Amino acid sequence: MRAMLRILLLAVLYAALHTAPARAVAIEFWTTEMAPERQAVIRYLAQAFMAQNPDIQVNITGVEENTIQFLGSALDEGVGPDIVSARSDIVVAIAEQGRVAKKCTGEMIRAIGEKRFFTGALATMRNKDGTYNGIPFSGWVQGIWYRADWFKEAGLDPPDTPERILKAAQTLCDSDKGRFGILVGTREDAYAEQVFTHLALAMGVREFDPDGKVVFAGKNAVRALTLYKELARYSPPGQQYWRARDYYMQGRLAMMFYSTFIMDDLALPTAAADSLTGNNFPDLDGAPFDPHLLRNTGMVSVITGTRPASYGVIHALGIPVCDDPERKRAIMRFISFLFRTDAYITWLHMAPGGMLPVLRDIAGADDFYRDAQGVFKRYTRTKIENIISGLGNIESFSFEEGRLIPKAAQASAEAIIPEMILRTLREGIPPRSPCNGLREGCANCSEITAPGQGFRP
């Protein structure tokens, strides 16, 4: 709140002292932050920036994450953004297509200060030649959030291995009580990919090797997809996605894969309100906020199968190619403003816990831990710092062992993994061909043998 007031006062003062020019340079800013309350904050920041920079007009456009793969086409048609805010895979993908101004991006990172960034966050954007595809902006860590009290009553270990996850899902699923064991994505979207990726990484699955060769087909991939299909049996009915967190918030779900964006929902009645109604699912009647849910919730961020794996996502700013010097200056001025301490903290506080800083100094700033809603106070600073430290260890198919794998980012941008999951769950395609879509002819792949019925560790 202090940061927002400071930005407003500075903007009003600046506007009072300066006269708007006859013509302003207009830049287009696309963001995947679609929630109305987040759009309001972003537009507020843009207004504050324009008050201080009357020669620049910033137009804000919200774009659904599951449709932003069409960004390349928009750029080709000349109607795309000058700046895009999206998950790093999207930004890397458009960079691989030659649609990112890498020189300008590098200049921007150096202007912000390379040493200010957490090493792991910056590495997700860095190519072998030292150039950058985008600018890390924020991040989140995924984990399994689970009812620790139910686990204790049932004598279950925390769900930190594939075997323990499946056992808990089977044990705690009770259809007579309307209780489900776990939430996994069962429709073709980004959430399904995120859940599958976390499990698959823990089970030793990779999409591409560092040289870009497909290595997805194999026993580990079959096992991971078979496990996913098995877990889907213990999920709420229908084509489920992140919205099914409502079941957890209403005491009807034992486990859910979710990012740190759930932290404010667990802590605040106002944040949880939209998950406590009966409006989103026919078999949910709504429920009051459970003040004990946060205390009764455990979280596992590292799953260990053949290897330990943590999963998370860096959101980045991408700068599509721009040959106009005047627009380039406007773009760089707006990005510099977004990284200004007060503006940056205001952005992160749109979703306390869900949007974690990628800058070391902000992660240590007292103002960052003073969110207006008091979410961080309920979790304690130590817990938040531990979660932030996880950004240095996160992995995905496109970023493994400190290496960026652009082809995997392209596969993610094209939603190949969600399509594979959907074909397996709903169309009956056997898990024996999990590489379908990653290489030509894989739908008829015969060298992979399906395991027996159900998941076998």
Architecture label for domain 141-310+407-444: 3-Layer(aba) Sandwich (3.40)
Range with the largest mean pLDDT of 166-170, 234-238, 429-433: 166-170
Mean pLDDT (the chain) is 86
Question: In the predicted model, is pLDDT for residue 328 greater than 80?
Answer: yes
Q: pLDDT value at position 443?
A: 38
- The mean pLDDT value for 423-438 works out to 63
Residue of 401, 364, 402 lying closest to 384 (CA atoms)? 364
Q: pLDDT value at position 137?
A: 97
Domains 2-139+312-392 and 141-310+407-444 share a fold: yes
With 0.75 as the threshold, say if the pTM is over it: yes
Dig out the tokens for 423 from the structure: 């074909």
Number of neighbours of residue 333 by Cβ within 10 angstroms: 16
- Asked if 138 and 358 touch (Cβ cutoff 8 Å), the reply is yes
Q: pLDDT-based confidence at 400, cuts 50/70/90? A: confident
Residue of 310, 309, 335 lying closest to 322 (CA atoms)? 335
Place of tokens 């010097």: 325
Distance from C-alpha of 41 to C-alpha of 124, rounded to nearest angstrom: 27
Helix, strand, coil distribution of the chain in percent, nearest 5: 45, 20, 35
Q: pLDDT-based confidence at 447, cuts 50/70/90? A: very low
Dig out the tokens for 150 from the structure: 């139910």
Point out which residues pair with 303 in neighbouring strands: 309
Q: pLDDT value at position 2?
A: 54
More confident residue, 372 or 66: 372
Q: pLDDT for 1-54, tens place per residue?
A: 555 555 554 554 444 444 445 578 999 999 999 999 999 999 999 999 999 999
Containing 61, the helix (H) or strand (E) segment is strand 56-62
Dig out the tokens for 195 from the structure: 């859940």
Point out which residues pair with 29 in neighbouring strands: 60, 83
Domain ranges of the chain: 2-139+312-392, 141-310+407-444
- The mean pLDDT value for 417-446 works out to 61
Distance from C-alpha of 262 to C-alpha of 244, rounded to nearest angstrom: 12
Q: What angle do CA 54, 58, 61 make, to 5 degrees?
A: 160
- Answer left, alpha or beta for residue 287, where phi above 0 means left and psi between -120 and 50 means alpha: beta
Residue 422: alpha-carbon gap to chain centroid: 20
- The mean pLDDT value for 229-250 works out to 95
Q: Which CATH class is domain 2-139+312-392?
A: alpha beta
Question: In the predicted model, is pLDDT for residue 449 greater than 60?
Answer: no
Kindly calculate the radius of gyration of the chain based on its CA atoms and give it in whole angstroms: 22
**Range in 19-23, 149-153, 164-168, 352-356 the model is least confident about:** 19-23
